[in-house]
Amino acid sequence: MDFIRIGEKVISKNKLWSQIEKILEYRVKGLSQQEAARRMSLDRAFISHLERLGEVHKGHRIAVIGFPVKNKAELLQMLEQEGVEFTLILSEEERWAYVGEGKGVDLFNKVMDVITQLQGFDYLIVLASNKRIKLFQGIFNLEVVGIEIGRSPIEEDRMVDIEQVKKVIQTLKKSGKQEAKA
């Protein structure tokens, strides 16, 4: 154990780091600051201050989901070049494989895992049918930017306008920089 004395108090550094790691685990899993604070019997403001102390990445985080995409490799390459942190791009065949694998509970768990991961982003770009875009906009409490690649139901891979998606990403990044300056 690594102890330090502060006045009359003896502080365990190991206990302190352990509690901080637990808070961060809750946040990474998608819990709100308020929920993590409640579970740890802390004030939400403490968690906000803690996150601000350790913050490295400034600007807005962007995620992109798209299906069914014909020019997947080209799209993924551009998304990587633009620094998009989360992508889920599927062809029609991959989409059905994703849905068809395992039991219903497995699909539910996979979908819930994706939803949890996406909660930490500022923007979600959805490349899908009109109905799927509306579904994502209804689910998420973050800015969902829809780029329609066809009317529902889409039953075959569709070409995505790579330049259009790139322009949207760059616009979102610029708006994030402007907000950070304000």
**Do residues 103 and 171 both lie within one domain?**
yes
Helix H, strand E, coil C: the string for 24-77 is HHHHHCCCCHHHHHHHHCCCHHHHHHHHHHHCCCCCCCEEEEECCECCHHHHHH
**Do residues 28 and 70 both lie within one domain?**
no
**Do residues 47 and 73 both lie within one domain?**
no
Identify the domain containing residue 16 by its residue range: 3-54
Taking only the tens place, the pLDDT of each residue in 52-97 is: 887 655 568 999 999 999 999 999 999 999 999 999 999 999 999 8
Instruction: Quote the pTM value.
Output: 0.66
Q: Is the pLDDT of residue 110 over 50?
A: yes
Over residues 2-23, the mean pLDDT reads 93
Q: How many domains does the structure of the chain reveal?
A: 2
Output the domain CATH number for residue 84.
Answer: 3.40.50
**Do residues 123 and 50 both lie within one domain?**
no
pLDDT of residue 181: 45
- How far is the C-alpha of 158 from the C-alpha of 68, rounded, in Å? 6
pLDDT of residue 178: 53
Backbone angles phi, psi at 71, to 5 degrees: -95, 55
**Do residues 76 and 24 both lie within one domain?**
no
**Do residues 145 and 104 both lie within one domain?**
yes
